[in-house]
Homo-oligomer: A and B are copies of this chain.
Amino acid sequence: MTQNTSIRLAQRPNGLPVADDWAQVAEPVPEPGANEFVVRISMISLDPAMRGWLDDRPSYLPPVGLGDVMRASAVGEIVASQHRRFPVGAWVEGAFGVQEFAVSNGRDVTLVDPSLGTPSMYLGLLGSTGLTAYFGLFTHGRPTAGDTVVVSGAAGAVGSTVGQLARISGCRVIGIAGGPDKCRYVVEELGFDHAIDYKSERVRPALATACPNGIDVYFDNVGGSILNAALSTLAMHARVVICGAISQYNAETPTPGPSNYMNLLVRRATMTGFLVFDHSAEYRVARQRLAAWKDDGLITAPETIVAGAVTDFPEALLRLFSGDNLGKLILDISGTKDGHQS
């Protein structure tokens, strides 16, 4: 009988997750019950939000329980099915967790449409990453052609997409990223107008220089001092979109909030938080547009794919926080456990 190895939360991390925070468990792969199917997982999405799910405090999703399989989006092929809508051989995306096989009843599972993109794109551009960029920018940032749009975490999965969507909307796009390689990448490969290297530049004066008319839309993935600097540079009626705060996720003590928030009043601006799940009714249209822009060469969807086993998850996750990945970070386990990559 085939074994399923899963990565489970052994204890709650303090700061960056360490090896001892995780446990691996091997169990037989169950048979699907009525209206269920079994997925052999090929690729696992690594997301900054994962860090928040490890803390025992109320949030938009319940914390991952101690002993539970780590929550993660993943794609894979259906290898056994008792479900009419999910046949064997179909590829699917869902919150299957950090494991080799998952049983699902199909709830919140998306069938991969090969005419739109590859399975891995259903974790990136066509998954919650790209959809987060799409709805965060368009629904909450509401850019108009000619606006100055600033995005932090610009070389990351969401930020790189936000900047490109703003560019094709006729906006002037400034990225904030760490290091010369990432800054060069977003300008030369992704078509941003300018990039600010927060590791070597003082962000506040750099933003003031790069945005002489102020920031119309600020899309924040990082929080902390960069958010505060952006708040100091708002244009009138600016929209600040709160998507994440990766600079804060591993903080061991509470970090100060954005002391410049009163500029929201001075500039009559709005700061909005959102979650992509609230827009699920519009996912289909958004995926079609994103895929079309990709096909037309208007959007690049960078991916950093780490090939390994499911047991490499704890180490791979840390690459999100060390800042050395470009675009979407994915753990590809298809080379192991008789999986295969599409």
A228 at the interface (CB under 8 A from B): yes
Whether A267 lies near B273 (C-beta < 8 A) is yes
Determine, out of A83-91, A253-261, A300-308, the stretch whose residues face the partner at the interface: A253-261
Q: A223-B262, A242-B262, A245-B262 are in contact. Are A268 and B257 (CB under 8 A)?
A: no
- Determine if B274 and A271 form an interchain contact, defined as CB atoms under 8 angstroms apart: no
How many identical subunits does the complex contain? 2
Determine whether the beta carbon of A275 is less than 8 Å from that of B265.
yes
In the complex, what distance in Å separates the CA atom of A255 from the CA atom of B243? 24
Q: Hey, which chain B residues are within 8 Å of A265, CB to CB? A: 60, 242-244, 273-275
Question: A264 touching B272 by the CB < 8 A rule?
Answer: yes
Q: Are A257 and B266 in contact (CB under 8 A)?
A: no
Judged by a CB distance under 8 angstroms, whether A108 is at the interface is no
Interface pair A268/B275, CB less than 8 Å apart: yes
* B278 touching A273, Cβ below 8 Å: no
Task: Indicate if A322 sits at the interface (CB-CB under 8 A).
Answer: no
Interface size class of A (residues with CB under 8 A): 20 to 34
Check B242–A228 contact: CB distance below 8 A. no
Q: Evaluate contact between B274 and A268: CB separation under 8 angstroms.
A: yes
Which listed residue, B59, B242, B268, touches A264 by the CB 8 Å rule?
B242
Known contacts: A268-B274, A272-B270, A273-B269. The answer to whether A259 contacts B262 by CB under 8 A is no
CB distance from A21 to the nearest CB of B (A): 22
A263 proximal to B (CB < 8 A)? yes
Residue pair A262, B273 in contact (C-beta under 8 Å): yes
Scan residues 88-136 of chain A and give those whose CB is less than 8 A from a CB of chain B: none
The contact of A258 among B245, B257, B274, by CB within 8 Å, is: B257
Question: Is the beta-carbon distance between A266 and B228 smaller than 8 angstroms?
Answer: no
Q: A60 CA to B266 CA in the complex, in Å?
A: 5
Tell me which residues from 35 to 64 in chain A have a Cβ below 8 Å from any Cβ of chain B. 58-60
In the assembled complex, the Cα of A89 lies from the Cα of B300 at a distance in Å of 70
A:228-265 near B, CB below 8 Å = 228, 242-245, 248, 254-265
* A11-52 interface (Cβ within 8 A of B): none
Most buried by B among A223, A244, A268: A268
Of B58, B59, B257, B267, which is within 8 A of A261 by CB? B257
Which residue of the partner chain B has the closest CB to A61?
B266
Q: Which residue of B lies closest to A269 (CB)?
A: B273
Within 8 A of B (CB), among A265-291: 265-275, 278
Q: Report the separation of the CA atoms of residues A219 and B207 in the bound assembly, to the nearest whole angstrom.
A: 30
Q: Considering only CB atoms, which chain B residue lies closest to A274 in the complex?
A: B268
User: Could you tell me the distance in whole angstroms from the C-beta of A182 to the nearest C-beta in chain B?
Assistant: 24
Question: Across the interface, which residues of B come within 8 angstroms of A275, CB to CB?
Answer: 265, 268
Q: A264-B273, A266-B273 are in contact. List 6 more A-B contacts (CB 8 A).
A: A60-B265, A248-B262, A256-B259, A258-B261, A261-B261, A268-B274
27 A-B residue pairings within 8 Å (CB atoms): A59-B266, A223-B262, A242-B262, A242-B264, A242-B265, A248-B262, A254-B259, A256-B259, A257-B257, A257-B260, A258-B261, A261-B261, A264-B271, A264-B272, A264-B273, A265-B273, A265-B274, A265-B275, A266-B273, A267-B273, A268-B273, A268-B278, A269-B272, A269-B273, A270-B271, A270-B272, A271-B272
